[in-house]
Structure 1
Amino acid sequence: MLLTWCQCRTRDYKGVKIENFSTSWNDGMAFCALIHHYYPDAFDFDKLEPKNRRYNFELAFRVADEKAGIMPLLDVDDMVMMKKPDWKCVFTYVQSLYKRLKDE
């Protein structure tokens, strides 16, 4: 159900294809798309590049914290180091996004 929620909110975002809670999130673009869906004025999604992984993670986590009060449960350095993030960690953070944003 959570995966479907993410897919529905990010389906129109170029370069974002969420198929799982690990590799689909490894460049930060899925996090940015999900946050941008709810806060489109916070940043210009179209200017983001998948290769700028650190920037994407920092942006998504910062905007989620500032706009929605969602604490960054994931460490940017850890996410940048991993090509295949731990799905349980990503799932937990996405779950916190869902709990806060689902009714908006």
Structure 2
Amino acid sequence: MSLPLSKTICLIHPARPASARCPSCGTFYCAECITEHEGRLTCARCLAAEQAPPVEKPSRVKIRLPIMPAIQFLAGLITLWFIYHAFAQILLSIPVDLHDGTIWK
């Protein structure tokens, strides 16, 4: 069970009673430390965290990116070779007497 607001103190100014609680982090602040932003009360630390642009971490995908086109090209080449080989095997399985032209006479 949490303390009533009248018995809490400001996190930054311990000598002052708390007048609000930040809904994001849940800490209590005095009237000078709390900020109203877009119709809600929030502390300066949470407000700065919300407004800061997100920090992008370098991903491992970007490190491997220069070799990916070569890998994709080789995969496509191997796939085409397998298709060509399968088509050639089908053509080789056709009987030889089909090629002499007597089947149509």
Settle same-fold status: TM greater than 0.5. Answer: no
- TM-score, length-normalised on structure 2? 0.19
Give 1 or 2 for the bigger CA radius of gyration.
Answer: 2
Q: Which has the higher contact order (CA 8 A, sep 6+)?
A: 1
